[in-house]
Amino acid sequence: MTADQALAEAAQGAAKSETREAIMRVLEDAPHGGMKPSEIAADLGIKPEIVRQRLHHMVRDGAVAKDSGGNYYHPSQLPPMPDFKPKAGGAQRAKS
């Protein structure tokens, strides 16, 4: 790997981290709890596709939770979920 490639890779990783942090702030401040990816994207002024991709990874990593209606939640904003069973990797709603 060249120095230029390493620098580009590091910059891309930093941008992903900044987007994840911004998404977490938006979700944490959501007055009504869960938010759709399009709402998050509008708040942040970025493309919905980027938000959806980031949210997918964040659910997989257990950083956020997703309900069956497509709303995403910061862990501190989770509504009561009687069927909630955390997976080993993080917080996700149990599949029916």
User: Which domains does the chain show, CATH number per domain?
Assistant: 3-77 (1.10.10.10)
Beta bridge partners of 65: 73
Task: Name the pLDDT band for 5 (thresholds 50, 70, 90).
Answer: low
Tell me the CB-side half-sphere exposure of residue 61, using CA atoms within 13 A. 10
Taking CA 38 as the corner, what is the angle to CA 79 and CA 84, rounded to the nearest 5 degrees? 25
Does residue 54 surpass a pLDDT of 50? yes
Higher pLDDT, 17 or 80: 17
Residue 87 CB contacts under 8 Å (≥ 6 apart), including other chains: 62
